[in-house]
Amino acid sequence: MRKIRIGFSVGGALAAAVAVVALTGVTAHGQNRASASTGQGNGPMVRSEATPQAGSVTVPQSSQDQGEGRAHTNYVLLNAKADGSSMLAGPLVDGNPAISLLETPRSLGCLYLGSPKYVGCAPNGFSDLGGPSPTGSLATSAIAIVDAFDNPNAANDLKIFTTQFHLTPAAFTKIYANGNGDCGVPPFDAGWSLEEDLDIEWAHVFSPKAHIILVEACSNSYTDLFYAEQVAFSYLVTHYPAGGEVSNSWQGGEPGGCCGGQDGNDLLFTDHIYNAGQGYVPNVLALASSGDGGIISGQAGYPSANPWVLTAGGTTINRDASTHAFVSESCWGGAGGGISSNETWHDFFGLGGFTGGHTGPWADYQYPIFGPTNRATPDMSFDADPASGVPVYSGVNGGWWQVGGTSLASPALASILNRADNFMGTVHINGINGSAYFNTAEHDLVYSELQAKAAYKANFYDVTTGSNGTSATTGWDYCTGVGSPRGVLGK
């Protein structure tokens, strides 16, 4: 398929101004608020019952629907007590029969990277110390985290997390995305604070030399979050010559005509509108969570539906009950996915006032699967089941929590991509004549491996069991996309 040449001028970078709190939530047993739908030109989804959720899970208020034009977080909490009477995980995770085994930086580094590598990749709770080696990551790159509201303890929480698990200390910066005048210091929110702790702590794990940049929007409105996205991209393009990633663990409905229009906002998640003035370098890639409600009826959520964004689905890690050795990954019943209602196929870039979103010859990585039709999600996957969840330290919320959700998958995959050191953005430079073209380079690389028998099996785990409202299957599916990473090759 042909690529579309870049032919527009781009303006300059944005100017950006550089107690225990209860989380109000609902306790959920079993599967959630989503239902399967019929594809819009992508072919019918095969309906199935979602895999039931193990244990007692709380969906915090911040992860519940916030209404049109507002985003929610994508994490859920495994309760410390089976009856849901306490959500605080704390050190009680070790040896508490009400809690499934806690995954750690060491166990997930072993599973997804082979660093450290040991038989079974079996975790051992809070006494499981160490994590992936810093080899292969770049101190001149960064992972930016875009979230809403302020977490006043973010830097200290990250320090406690790295100290607890004997990880490399993190280089960390926090930025208020307040240049749009919507706030001075963003207001505090307990639920989003835990989200921010999850994001910065696990973005650090797999690429520990990369700088972590937390960009806090004034609110969870699309207006403020889209502005914060611009701040994040501009900051990385200006300050990190190796490039990086921007992780978005939040999601809401597809904006369509809301909030400036989905077409126009799609380009805010691409690097070519920020780095044009310096030869389209460095490269920056956006990622987003697919959601925690299973298959989304009639859409794919936003920004995960954006065809320029690499969307993170979710898995369950299944372990031997006695040895805790890795057995398999399956589709997590809560993992989001779906078919976009707005990101349809266009043959001509710019036709009819089209401003840069949608699928088409410039974003055709799913063409071999679906042909010329709507964007489908997700693209890749990572552990997201709270029953195989991870520790997160959040001081304003009382300490340690066992957390799952695709909010984990987005920053973790961003960290793995950073470690891979390819730094693919959304522009291809023609080496012969120097012309620039729109190009979904990272997606193209990942999806191309579906056709490569040896490389696919070496570089990805093909999740074929479990259901989020549609069954996981061989190759690409609506729960895990291409699959889960194994190592950094092909990422």
Place of tokens 């898995």: 315
CB burial readout 311-322, b (16+ within 10 A) else e: bbbbbbbbbeee
Show the tokens assigned to 459: 């570089």
Phi, psi of 311 (to 5 degrees): -100, 135
CA 90 vs CA 240, 247, 395, 400, 480: distances in Å: 36, 27, 11, 5, 30
Per-residue pLDDT of the chain (491 residues; tens, 9 = 90+): 333 333 323 333 333 333 333 445 554 433 333 333 333 457 667 778 899 877 778 899 999 999 999 999 999 988 755 454 444 444 344 444 444 578 999 999 999 999 999 999 999 888 899 999 987 557 799 999 999 999 999 999 999 999 999 999 999 999 999 999 999 999 999 999 999 999 999 999 999 999 999 999 999 999 999 999 999 999 999 999 999 999 999 999 998 777 777 878 999 999 999 999 999 999 999 999 999 999 988 889 999 999 999 999 999 999 998 999 999 999 999 999 999 999 999 887 654 455 678 898 889 999 999 999 999 999 999 999 999 999 999 999 888 888 999 999 999 999 999 999 999 999 988 888 888 888 999 999 999 999 999 999 999 999 999 999 999 999 999 999 999 999 999 99
Position 5 scores a pLDDT of 36
Tens of pLDDT, residue by residue over 343-384, are 999 887 654 455 678 898 889 999 999 999 999 999 999 999
Position 201 scores a pLDDT of 98
Position 57 scores a pLDDT of 84
Task: Give the DSSP per-residue string, 375-436.
Answer: -EE-SEEEE--GGG-EEEEEGGGTEEEEEESHHHHHHHHHHHHHHHT----SEEE-TTT--E
Position 2 scores a pLDDT of 34
Position 348 scores a pLDDT of 73
Query: If residue 108 lies in a helix (H) or strand (E), which one and from where to where?
Result: helix 105-113
Query: If residue 285 lies in a helix (H) or strand (E), which one and from where to where?
Result: strand 284-289
Position 98 scores a pLDDT of 40
Tens of pLDDT, residue by residue over 193-220, are 999 999 999 999 999 999 999 999 999 9
> Using CA atoms, how far apart are residues 336 and 73, in angstroms rounded to an integer?
13
CA 143 vs CA 222, 269, 284, 491: distances in Å: 21, 14, 9, 16
**CB-CB contact of 189 with 149 (8 Å):** yes
As beta bridge partners, residue 263 has: none
What dihedral do alpha carbons 202, 203, 208, 213 form, nearest 10°?
-130
Position 10 scores a pLDDT of 33
Looking at the chain, the number of H-run helices and the number of E-run strands are 9, 19
> Using CA atoms, how far apart are residues 242 and 265, in angstroms rounded to an integer?
25
CA 14 vs CA 10, 37, 250: distances in Å: 12, 40, 22
CA 467 vs CA 30, 47, 52, 427: distances in Å: 13, 9, 9, 35
Task: Give the DSSP per-residue string, 26-41.
Answer: EEE-S--S------SS
Fold of the CATH domain 25-485: Rossmann fold (3.40.50)
